[in-house]
Amino acid sequence: MRDSQLINTGIPALAVLGGLALAAAQYFIWIYAPVEATMGVLQKIFYFHLPLAWWGLISFFMVFCASLLFLITRRSVMDRLAQAAAETGLLFSGLALATGSLWAKAAWNTWWTWDPRLSTTLIMWFIYAGYLVLRQSIDNPQKMRALSAVLGIVAFLNVPLVFLSARMWRSIHPAVFGSGGGGLEPEMMTAVMVSIAAWGLLTAAILLFRVRQLHIKDRIKTLYVF
Protein backbone atom coordinates (compact mmCIF):
# COMPACT_ATOMS: atom_id res chain seq x y z
CA MET A 1 0.00 0.00 0.00
CA ARG A 2 2.82 2.39 0.86
CA ASP A 3 4.49 1.74 -2.51
CA SER A 4 1.21 2.45 -4.34
CA GLN A 5 0.67 5.71 -2.46
CA LEU A 6 4.19 6.89 -3.26
CA ILE A 7 3.77 6.05 -6.94
CA ASN A 8 0.33 7.68 -7.22
CA THR A 9 1.65 10.88 -5.61
CA GLY A 10 4.84 11.04 -7.63
CA ILE A 11 3.39 10.56 -11.13
CA PRO A 12 1.50 13.89 -11.46
CA ALA A 13 4.34 15.90 -9.93
CA LEU A 14 7.01 14.35 -12.14
CA ALA A 15 4.82 14.63 -15.23
CA VAL A 16 4.25 18.35 -14.68
CA LEU A 17 7.91 19.00 -13.87
CA GLY A 18 9.00 16.93 -16.86
CA GLY A 19 6.67 18.82 -19.21
CA LEU A 20 7.87 22.19 -17.96
CA ALA A 21 11.52 21.11 -18.15
CA LEU A 22 11.11 19.84 -21.71
CA ALA A 23 9.46 23.13 -22.69
CA ALA A 24 12.36 25.04 -21.14
CA ALA A 25 14.83 22.76 -22.92
CA GLN A 26 13.42 23.86 -26.28
CA TYR A 27 14.54 27.41 -25.56
CA PHE A 28 18.06 26.25 -24.77
CA ILE A 29 18.17 23.99 -27.83
CA TRP A 30 16.74 26.26 -30.50
CA ILE A 31 17.58 29.77 -29.23
CA TYR A 32 20.28 29.75 -26.54
CA ALA A 33 22.66 27.22 -28.10
CA PRO A 34 24.44 28.51 -31.23
CA VAL A 35 24.04 26.89 -34.62
CA GLU A 36 26.96 24.55 -35.31
CA ALA A 37 29.22 25.80 -38.12
CA THR A 38 29.49 22.58 -40.14
CA MET A 39 26.15 20.78 -39.78
CA GLY A 40 24.01 23.82 -39.16
CA VAL A 41 20.61 23.36 -37.57
CA LEU A 42 20.71 19.57 -38.10
CA GLN A 43 23.28 19.37 -35.30
CA LYS A 44 20.47 20.10 -32.85
CA ILE A 45 19.33 16.48 -33.25
CA PHE A 46 22.20 15.85 -30.83
CA TYR A 47 20.23 17.45 -27.97
CA PHE A 48 17.58 14.74 -28.36
CA HIS A 49 19.89 11.89 -29.31
CA LEU A 50 22.22 12.12 -26.32
CA PRO A 51 19.55 12.27 -23.54
CA LEU A 52 17.65 9.39 -25.15
CA ALA A 53 20.83 7.30 -25.26
CA TRP A 54 21.80 8.15 -21.69
CA TRP A 55 18.41 7.50 -20.16
CA GLY A 56 18.09 4.32 -22.17
CA LEU A 57 21.30 3.05 -20.56
CA ILE A 58 20.20 4.23 -17.12
CA SER A 59 16.87 2.44 -17.56
CA PHE A 60 18.74 -0.80 -18.30
CA PHE A 61 20.82 -0.23 -15.16
CA MET A 62 17.54 0.03 -13.27
CA VAL A 63 16.51 -3.34 -14.75
CA PHE A 64 19.71 -4.78 -13.29
CA CYS A 65 19.14 -3.24 -9.85
CA ALA A 66 15.43 -4.11 -9.69
CA SER A 67 16.10 -7.70 -10.84
CA LEU A 68 18.77 -8.14 -8.19
CA LEU A 69 16.49 -6.73 -5.50
CA PHE A 70 13.66 -9.00 -6.62
CA LEU A 71 15.83 -12.09 -6.22
CA ILE A 72 16.81 -10.90 -2.73
CA THR A 73 13.43 -9.65 -1.45
CA ARG A 74 10.89 -11.37 -3.78
CA ARG A 75 8.87 -8.14 -3.76
CA SER A 76 6.60 -7.95 -6.80
CA VAL A 77 7.10 -4.18 -7.10
CA MET A 78 10.74 -4.84 -8.01
CA ASP A 79 9.67 -7.15 -10.81
CA ARG A 80 7.25 -4.53 -12.11
CA LEU A 81 9.97 -1.88 -11.97
CA ALA A 82 12.32 -4.15 -13.92
CA GLN A 83 9.72 -4.64 -16.65
CA ALA A 84 8.85 -0.95 -16.80
CA ALA A 85 12.52 0.04 -16.99
CA ALA A 86 13.20 -2.52 -19.73
CA GLU A 87 10.30 -1.19 -21.82
CA THR A 88 11.43 2.40 -21.31
CA GLY A 89 15.05 1.58 -22.06
CA LEU A 90 14.09 -0.30 -25.21
CA LEU A 91 11.98 2.64 -26.42
CA PHE A 92 14.67 5.23 -25.67
CA SER A 93 17.56 3.21 -27.12
CA GLY A 94 15.48 2.58 -30.25
CA LEU A 95 14.81 6.30 -30.59
CA ALA A 96 18.51 6.98 -29.97
CA LEU A 97 19.40 4.66 -32.85
CA ALA A 98 16.84 6.37 -35.08
CA THR A 99 17.97 9.91 -34.27
CA GLY A 100 21.57 8.78 -34.56
CA SER A 101 20.87 7.54 -38.08
CA LEU A 102 19.42 10.92 -39.04
CA TRP A 103 22.48 12.63 -37.62
CA ALA A 104 24.83 10.19 -39.35
CA LYS A 105 23.22 10.81 -42.72
CA ALA A 106 23.79 14.55 -42.35
CA ALA A 107 27.26 14.29 -40.82
CA TRP A 108 28.82 11.29 -42.58
CA ASN A 109 26.48 10.77 -45.56
CA THR A 110 25.44 7.29 -44.41
CA TRP A 111 22.43 6.01 -42.48
CA TRP A 112 24.38 3.24 -40.76
CA THR A 113 27.92 2.06 -40.22
CA TRP A 114 29.15 -0.85 -38.14
CA ASP A 115 30.82 1.46 -35.66
CA PRO A 116 31.61 -0.18 -32.28
CA ARG A 117 29.06 1.93 -30.42
CA LEU A 118 26.34 1.41 -33.01
CA SER A 119 26.99 -2.32 -33.14
CA THR A 120 27.00 -2.81 -29.36
CA THR A 121 23.89 -0.66 -28.99
CA LEU A 122 22.02 -2.71 -31.58
CA ILE A 123 23.04 -5.93 -29.82
CA MET A 124 21.88 -4.46 -26.52
CA TRP A 125 18.53 -3.54 -28.07
CA PHE A 126 17.95 -7.11 -29.25
CA ILE A 127 18.97 -8.54 -25.85
CA TYR A 128 16.39 -6.48 -23.99
CA ALA A 129 13.79 -7.14 -26.68
CA GLY A 130 14.42 -10.82 -25.95
CA TYR A 131 14.01 -10.09 -22.24
CA LEU A 132 10.53 -8.69 -22.84
CA VAL A 133 9.63 -11.60 -25.13
CA LEU A 134 10.68 -14.01 -22.36
CA ARG A 135 8.34 -12.30 -19.92
CA GLN A 136 5.41 -12.97 -22.25
CA SER A 137 6.32 -16.57 -23.11
CA ILE A 138 6.13 -18.15 -19.62
CA ASP A 139 2.69 -18.80 -18.14
CA ASN A 140 3.80 -19.49 -14.56
CA PRO A 141 4.14 -16.04 -12.89
CA GLN A 142 6.67 -17.10 -10.25
CA LYS A 143 8.88 -18.89 -12.77
CA MET A 144 8.59 -15.98 -15.19
CA ARG A 145 9.65 -13.45 -12.56
CA ALA A 146 12.61 -15.52 -11.40
CA LEU A 147 13.93 -16.26 -14.89
CA SER A 148 13.36 -12.66 -15.99
CA ALA A 149 15.32 -11.41 -12.98
CA VAL A 150 18.26 -13.65 -13.86
CA LEU A 151 18.21 -12.49 -17.48
CA GLY A 152 17.83 -8.87 -16.36
CA ILE A 153 21.07 -9.23 -14.41
CA VAL A 154 23.00 -11.07 -17.13
CA ALA A 155 21.79 -8.72 -19.89
CA PHE A 156 23.39 -5.76 -18.13
CA LEU A 157 26.85 -7.09 -18.98
CA ASN A 158 26.50 -5.49 -22.41
CA VAL A 159 25.53 -2.04 -21.11
CA PRO A 160 28.99 -0.93 -19.83
CA LEU A 161 30.40 -2.17 -23.14
CA VAL A 162 28.08 0.21 -25.01
CA PHE A 163 29.13 3.12 -22.81
CA LEU A 164 32.86 2.42 -23.08
CA SER A 165 32.94 1.31 -26.72
CA ALA A 166 33.80 4.77 -28.08
CA ARG A 167 36.76 4.93 -25.68
CA MET A 168 37.93 1.32 -26.03
CA TRP A 169 37.94 1.13 -29.84
CA ARG A 170 38.36 3.52 -32.72
CA SER A 171 34.95 5.12 -33.18
CA ILE A 172 33.29 7.93 -35.10
CA HIS A 173 31.47 8.88 -31.90
CA PRO A 174 33.13 11.67 -29.89
CA ALA A 175 33.45 11.41 -26.10
CA VAL A 176 31.27 14.40 -25.21
CA PHE A 177 32.12 14.31 -21.51
CA GLY A 178 35.68 13.15 -21.97
CA SER A 179 38.81 15.03 -21.00
CA GLY A 180 38.54 17.14 -24.14
CA GLY A 181 34.87 17.94 -23.59
CA GLY A 182 33.91 16.80 -27.10
CA GLY A 183 34.55 20.27 -28.55
CA LEU A 184 31.23 21.71 -27.33
CA GLU A 185 30.80 25.41 -26.74
CA PRO A 186 29.69 26.35 -23.19
CA GLU A 187 26.22 27.29 -24.46
CA MET A 188 25.93 23.90 -26.18
CA MET A 189 27.00 22.11 -23.02
CA THR A 190 24.35 24.00 -21.05
CA ALA A 191 21.70 22.95 -23.56
CA VAL A 192 22.89 19.33 -23.29
CA MET A 193 22.66 19.34 -19.49
CA VAL A 194 19.21 20.95 -19.48
CA SER A 195 17.99 18.39 -22.01
CA ILE A 196 19.39 15.49 -19.99
CA ALA A 197 17.68 16.76 -16.83
CA ALA A 198 14.36 17.29 -18.62
CA TRP A 199 14.36 13.82 -20.15
CA GLY A 200 15.29 12.41 -16.74
CA LEU A 201 12.14 13.84 -15.18
CA LEU A 202 10.08 12.48 -18.05
CA THR A 203 11.72 9.07 -17.67
CA ALA A 204 10.84 8.96 -13.97
CA ALA A 205 7.22 9.85 -14.72
CA ILE A 206 6.97 7.18 -17.42
CA LEU A 207 8.50 4.53 -15.15
CA LEU A 208 6.16 5.25 -12.24
CA PHE A 209 3.13 5.35 -14.52
CA ARG A 210 4.04 2.02 -16.10
CA VAL A 211 4.70 0.43 -12.69
CA ARG A 212 1.22 1.52 -11.60
CA GLN A 213 -0.27 0.07 -14.78
CA LEU A 214 1.43 -3.26 -14.14
CA HIS A 215 0.22 -3.23 -10.52
CA ILE A 216 -3.37 -2.70 -11.66
CA LYS A 217 -2.97 -5.42 -14.29
CA ASP A 218 -1.82 -7.90 -11.62
CA ARG A 219 -4.76 -7.01 -9.38
CA ILE A 220 -7.20 -7.54 -12.25
CA LYS A 221 -5.67 -10.94 -12.97
CA THR A 222 -6.05 -11.89 -9.31
CA LEU A 223 -9.70 -10.85 -9.26
CA TYR A 224 -10.34 -12.72 -12.50
CA VAL A 225 -8.80 -15.94 -11.19
CA PHE A 226 -10.81 -15.90 -7.99
In the prediction, which pLDDT does 181 show?
A: 47
165: pLDDT strictly greater than 90: no
In the prediction, which pLDDT does 200 show?
A: 96
Lowest mean pLDDT across 141-150, 155-164, 180-189: 180-189
Burial of 224 (0-12, 13-18, 19+ CB in 10 A): exposed
Q: Tens digit of pLDDT for each residue in 112-149?
A: 777 888 888 999 999 999 999 999 998 898 999 999 99
Arithmetic mean of pLDDT, 154-162: 91
Q: Tens digit of pLDDT for each residue in 96-114?
A: 999 988 888 877 777 877 7
Domain span at 41: 2-225
> What pTM value is reported for the model?
0.88
174: pLDDT strictly greater than 60: no
- CA distances for 189 relative to 70, 77, 134, 193, angstroms: 38, 37, 40, 6
Count of the separate structural domains present in the chain: 1
Q: Tens digit of pLDDT for each residue in 186-226?
A: 899 999 999 999 999 999 999 999 999 998 888 887 776 55
Are the beta carbons of 124 and 61 closer than 8 angstroms?
Answer: no
Beta bridge partners of 36: 40
Per-residue DSSP letter, 74: -
